[in-house]
A and B are shown apart, each in its own frame.
Chain A
Amino acid sequence: MRLDWLQLTDVRAYQSLEVRPDPEVNVLVGDNGAGKTTVLEAIGYLASMKSFRRAPDASLIRDGAETAVIRGEFSKGEIRVRVEVEIPRTGRRRVLVNGKRPSTMASVAGEIPLVTFLPDDLDLIKRGPAYRREYLDDLVVSLRPAVAVDLQGYERAVRQRNALLRRDGRYADTMTLDVLDQRIAELGAIVLGLRLDLLERLGPVLSGLYAVLGDGPEQVAWIYERSHGGPIVGVSPRPDLGADLAAALAAARQTDLDRRTTTVGPHRDEIVLTLANRDVRTRASQGEQRSVALGLRVAAYDLLRERGDVPVLVLDDVFSELDEGRSRRLVDRLPEGQVFVSSAREDEVPVRGRRWQVTAGSITGVGEES
């Protein structure tokens, strides 16, 4: 898949912008604050329907404007996909795919395969379990859009249960809790199963990548630590996920009634990554952590490509964070698809490709350059 055309109206600093990117490598160069990331953020938004900056939608709207509009046209051979998003300051956003309203947001998210590398990717390793769960769940949905409804359903069911607990506490209706538990156990088992399936594929890919991107042939492995029941390691025979979760919810009922929230389930699970049996989060060097984080993104790319679609690759200011060795090894592995790279310093970008000069609110092609 590649982006052929991008148009922004009232998005952050851009009043209006139209770009026809190169089908291969695009390098956006400009000072900090010039708007490089905004362009990449907009491209990412068209694929995932959210900002990779974790910014609320309203922050995308230019100061003084009422509605931000992002339009893009992607193509893959003969297939063309046009995605348009209108984000108003008040009211709901409007999304059109090929001029039609999609039946669900999830069906949009599966349409455009895209992988983003960010300076903050180290968060995947260093910060709380929510970051790792989100990484897995996003990748699950990109690979299998049809299961998005189960992931969203699980979240919704937990929110319903929490709302009931918050409102009624110990007086919450038992039968309503029972049926919510039943639904949460069913959907939770699906979510868990999807995460484990993905981790099983991811494990060997990560080890292989670490050998290339990292500093040695150490083994990358994972431990899935459930908030209930025991941890699940590697391809061990899988326990009955649904039954375990149902039992855990029943056992946690009294605690949940007291604390007015749902204390067990996939929304509380942790995914521990290990490097040569050391916990990467607590017992690896900064450099090792960076290599594993980089590996997670490259692995996402590789798995999406395996599905048969070359993803669009977005690298937002990542080279400033990497030492020369890692930069070079990443670039050597750069794929045949379309790439967007941003950097404040041109000499930092070790790739050839179309150069774009970004200055406050505008973008100009400055031709091919090495």
Chain B
Amino acid sequence: MFEAPVQKLIDELARLPGIGQKSAQRIAFHLLHVEETDARRLAEAVVEMRERVRLCARCFNVTDSEECSICRDLRRDPSAICVVERAQDVVVVERTHEFRGRYHVLGGAISPIEGVGPEQLRLRELIARIEPEGVTEVIVATNPTVEGDTTALYLARSLKPLGLTVTRLASGLPVGGDLDYADELTLGRALSGRREM
């Protein structure tokens, strides 16, 4: 045990995802030794984020106003929606610069083990967007896990009767790398999902 204020910070840090006791100690002592203004800036950043950031009223991405910058952007194609599990996935897809439509953040995936059913996800909100926004295609970009696959199937069954095109991201090899860098699983997937040329 360390002095109470130090231990308190370590305990808080250790509750964060991906941070164990040792990392928490390292971060706490680092913050003890840096300039006070640096430490304060971190604390203020956390508080400011919590106070200013909220969820986009349309797609549930994080934003600091009523709607997120993507939903407000008039150049985006409103007819295509990319559905993701979490807000951080939006950033990942955005980085590709390949998708010019809008997003919808479900807030998770169907997982009865964790008590998450379709009613816990923002599905109704998605279906409510289809008509008013003139959506014709939904791209499902949930994770390639059992939960992500189940959610994708659920979406396909809910959306197809509305006359939409529903697609799912392909899984395969990382581009630009050598074949021998791919792990067996990825390579195995790519092999079983191969395409004729």
Binding site for B on A (CB under 8 A): 91, 102-104, 106-107, 110, 144-149, 153, 156-157, 159-161, 163-164, 167, 173, 175-176, 178-180, 182-183
Binding site for A on B (CB under 8 A): 20, 110-113, 115, 117-119, 145-147, 149-150, 153-154, 157-158, 183-189, 191
Nearest B residue to A110, CB-CB: B184
Which B residues touch A106, using CB under 8 A? 185
A91 to B189, CA, bound (A): 31
Residue pair B185, A178 in contact (C-beta under 8 Å) = no
> What is the distance, in angstroms, from B187's C-beta to the closest C-beta of chain A?
7
Residue pair A183, B150 in contact (C-beta under 8 Å) = yes
Residue pair A160, B112 in contact (C-beta under 8 Å) = yes
Residue pair B185, A167 in contact (C-beta under 8 Å) = no
19 additional A-B pairs beyond A102-B183, A160-B147, A179-B110, beta carbons within 8 Å, are A103-B185, A110-B184, A144-B188, A145-B184, A146-B185, A146-B187, A148-B185, A149-B185, A156-B145, A160-B150, A163-B112, A175-B118, A176-B117, A179-B153, A179-B154, A179-B157, A180-B150, A183-B146, A183-B150
A145 to B187, CA, bound (A): 11
Which A residues touch B191, using CB under 8 A? 146
A156/B157 contact (C-beta < 8 A), A103-B185, A176-B117 known:
no
A145 to B183, CA, bound (A): 10
Residue pair B183, A104 in contact (C-beta under 8 Å) = yes
A160 to B145, CA, bound (A): 12
Residue pair B146, A107 in contact (C-beta under 8 Å) = no
A250 to B158, CA, bound (A): 20
Residue pair A183, B183 in contact (C-beta under 8 Å) = no
> What is the distance, in angstroms, from A123's C-beta to the closest C-beta of chain B?
29
Nearest B residue to A159, CB-CB: B113
Which A residues touch B147, using CB under 8 A? 160
A91 to B146, CA, bound (A): 24
Which A residues touch B183, using CB under 8 A? 102-104, 107
> What is the distance, in angstroms, from B99's C-beta to the closest C-beta of chain A?
25
> Would you give 14 A-B contacts (Cβ < 8 Å), ordered by A?
A103-B183, A103-B186, A104-B183, A146-B189, A147-B188, A156-B146, A157-B146, A161-B112, A163-B113, A173-B119, A175-B118, A179-B110, A179-B153, A179-B157
Residue pair A173, B185 in contact (C-beta under 8 Å) = no
A59 to B118, CA, bound (A): 39
Which A residues touch B158, using CB under 8 A? 175
The 5 closest A-B pairs by CB, nearest first: A146-B188, A164-B112, A163-B112, A179-B153, A156-B146
A182 to B183, CA, bound (A): 28
Which A residues touch B186, using CB under 8 A? 103
> What is the distance, in angstroms, from B134's C-beta to the closest C-beta of chain A?
26
Which A residues touch B117, using CB under 8 A? 164, 173, 176
> What is the distance, in angstroms, from B150's C-beta to the closest C-beta of chain A?
5
Which A residues touch B184, using CB under 8 A? 107, 110, 145-146
A151 to B119, CA, bound (A): 29
Residue pair A160, B146 in contact (C-beta under 8 Å) = yes
A91 to B22, CA, bound (A): 12
> What is the distance, in angstroms, from B66's C-beta to the closest C-beta of chain A?
32
A146 to B115, CA, bound (A): 30
> What is the distance, in angstroms, from A179's C-beta to the closest C-beta of chain B?
4
> What is the distance, in angstroms, from B174's C-beta to the closest C-beta of chain A?
12
> What is the distance, in angstroms, from B124's C-beta to the closest C-beta of chain A?
13
Residue pair A160, B20 in contact (C-beta under 8 Å) = no
A179/B150 contact (C-beta < 8 A), A103-B183, A164-B117, A173-B118 known:
yes
Which A residues touch B115, using CB under 8 A? 167
Which B residues touch A182, using CB under 8 A? 153
Which B residues touch A107, using CB under 8 A? 183-185
Residue pair A175, B154 in contact (C-beta under 8 Å) = yes
A160/B154 contact (C-beta < 8 A), A173-B118, A176-B118 known:
no
Which B residues touch A183, using CB under 8 A? 146, 149-150, 153
Residue pair B185, A160 in contact (C-beta under 8 Å) = no
A319 to B187, CA, bound (A): 42
A161 to B117, CA, bound (A): 11
Which B residues touch A102, using CB under 8 A? 183
Which B residues touch A156, using CB under 8 A? 145-146
Which A residues touch B111, using CB under 8 A? 160
Which A residues touch B154, using CB under 8 A? 175-176, 179
Which A residues touch B118, using CB under 8 A? 173, 175-176
A40 to B173, CA, bound (A): 37
Nearest A residue to B110, CB-CB: A176
Which B residues touch A179, using CB under 8 A? 110, 150, 153-154, 157
A115 to B190, CA, bound (A): 29
Chain B CB within 10 Å, residue with most, of A148, A149, A157: A149
Residue pair B157, A178 in contact (C-beta under 8 Å) = yes
A183 to B154, CA, bound (A): 11
